[in-house]
């Protein structure tokens, strides 16, 4: 893939944005860094004149933004999904606490197809259920005494780091910084695997232990394992083989 097309694989996803002006400000933040793929999950008010005004000229990003009814749908084709959240879940995902490292990994995966950075609601961020559709988490290294970032500020910082990684990958001295790894599965493929596992385990009673959250823990284990697409296909094949064996 030509390096100039890598940024087109970077997707910014805003979940249930309350103030339409924040959508416009985020679009402006994206556009200044060359990122143009904006997805909105159940925004309160969009399309919106205020969003267009706050975009301050980045109207191409606003006009091409796609609206989805679920986060799962918005990231289904993505090979890496990074949720920005200050909270660490009890069942934690692999977490980036350094923006530069996050951006290098993201741009490496962009060699294979779409990748996403996901941002939650202005007041409450992303829910645990929404983070379960992510492969990684991003925590900004803010000051402990006041770690509150405006939505568009968070988008700006993330896109700035992504552009720096992209520029480093295009330079002679930085060309080794971004190397394509073995392709990760898409979010939809991961969801399919988890649904298949649940389907096969449910009749056994293994998932029915009270308060054990067994299904959620299993899904977290597999997401943290960072399997490649080929490895996931092998796991799906193994599950199907076991299912067929049990039918005999």
Do 202 and 147 reside in the same domain of the chain? no
The reply to whether 175 falls in a domain is: no
**What mean pLDDT do residues 6-17 have?**
97
Residue of 215, 220, 208, 82 lying closest to 155 (CA atoms): 82
The reply to whether 81 falls in a domain is: yes
What's the CATH code of the domain at 220? Answer: 1.10.8
Do 87 and 156 reside in the same domain of the chain? yes
Query: What pLDDT shows up at residue 181?
Result: 61
Query: What residues contact 194, with CB distance under 8 A and at least 6 apart?
Result: 218, 219, 222
Whether the bond into 25 is cis, omega within 30 of 0: no
Phi, psi of 15 (to 5 degrees): -100, 120
Do 91 and 193 reside in the same domain of the chain? no
Q: Are 188 and 195 in contact (CB under 8 A)?
A: no
Q: Out of 47-51, 109-113, 217-221, pick the least confident.
A: 217-221
Query: What pLDDT shows up at residue 3?
Result: 45
The reply to whether 178 falls in a domain is: no
Residue 177 pLDDT exceeds 60: no
The reply to whether 179 falls in a domain is: no
What is the distance between the terminal CA atoms of the chain, rounded to a whole angstrom? 47
Residue with tokens 């000229």: 57
Do 134 and 233 reside in the same domain of the chain? no
For the stretch 225-245, pLDDT in tens is: 878 888 889 988 998 888 887
Distance CA 219, CA 215 (A): 6
Do 67 and 105 reside in the same domain of the chain? yes
Do 81 and 150 reside in the same domain of the chain? yes
Q: Which tokens sit at 74?
A: 């918005």
Do 41 and 95 reside in the same domain of the chain? yes
Beta bridge partners of 117: 12, 82
Do 109 and 222 reside in the same domain of the chain? no
CA 166 vs CA 36, 37, 116, 154, 186: distances in Å: 14, 16, 15, 18, 22
Structural domains of the chain, count: 2
Q: Are 166 and 3 in contact (CB under 8 A)?
A: yes
Do 142 and 212 reside in the same domain of the chain? no
Beta bridge partners of 125: 121
Do 151 and 218 reside in the same domain of the chain? no
Of 136, 170, 204, the domain-final residue: 170
The reply to whether 75 falls in a domain is: yes
Do 38 and 112 reside in the same domain of the chain? yes
CA 100 vs CA 73, 157, 158, 193: distances in Å: 28, 10, 9, 31
Phi, psi of 234 (to 5 degrees): -65, -40
Residue 210 pLDDT exceeds 90: no
**In which domain, by residue range, is 17 found?**
3-170
Of 170, 201, 231, the domain-final residue: 170
Is 238 strand, coil or helix?
Answer: helix
Of 113, 144, 170, the domain-final residue: 170
Is 122 strand, coil or helix?
Answer: coil
Do 146 and 195 reside in the same domain of the chain? no
What's the CATH code of the domain at 161? Answer: 3.40.1280.10
Reported as a pLDDT band with limits 50, 70 and 90, residue 141 is: confident
């Amino acid at each position: 893939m030509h390096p100039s097309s890598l940024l087109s694989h970077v997707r910014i996803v805003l979940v249930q944005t309350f103030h339409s002006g924040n959508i416009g400000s985020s679009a402006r933040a994206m556009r200044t860094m060359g990122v143009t793929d904006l997805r909105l999950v159940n925004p309160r008010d969009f399309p919106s004149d205020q969003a267009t005004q706050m975009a301050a000229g980045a109207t191409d990003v606003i006009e091409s933004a796609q609206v989805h009814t679920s986060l799962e749908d918005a990231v289904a084709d993505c090979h890496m999904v990074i949720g920005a959240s200050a909270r660490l879940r009890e069942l934690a995902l692999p977490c980036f606490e350094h923006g530069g490292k996050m951006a290098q990994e993201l741009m490496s995966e962009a060699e294979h197809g779409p990748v996403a950075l996901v941002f939650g609601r202005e007041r409450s961020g992303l829910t645990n259920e929404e983070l379960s559709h992510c492969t990684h988490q991003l925590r900004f290294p803010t000051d402990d005494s006041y770690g509150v970032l405006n939505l568009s500020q968070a988008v700006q910082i993330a896109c700035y780091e992504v552009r720096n990684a992209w520029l480093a990958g295009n330079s002679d001295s930085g060309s080794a910084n971004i190397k394509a790894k073995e392709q990760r599965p898409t979010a939809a493929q991961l969801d399919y695997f988890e649904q298949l596992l649940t389907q096969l385990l449910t009749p056994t009673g293994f998932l029915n232990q009270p308060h054990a959250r067994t299904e959620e823990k299993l899904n977290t284990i597999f997401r943290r394992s960072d399997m490649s697409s080929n490895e996931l296909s092998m796991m799906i094949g193994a599950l199907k083989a076991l299912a067929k064996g049990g039918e005999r």
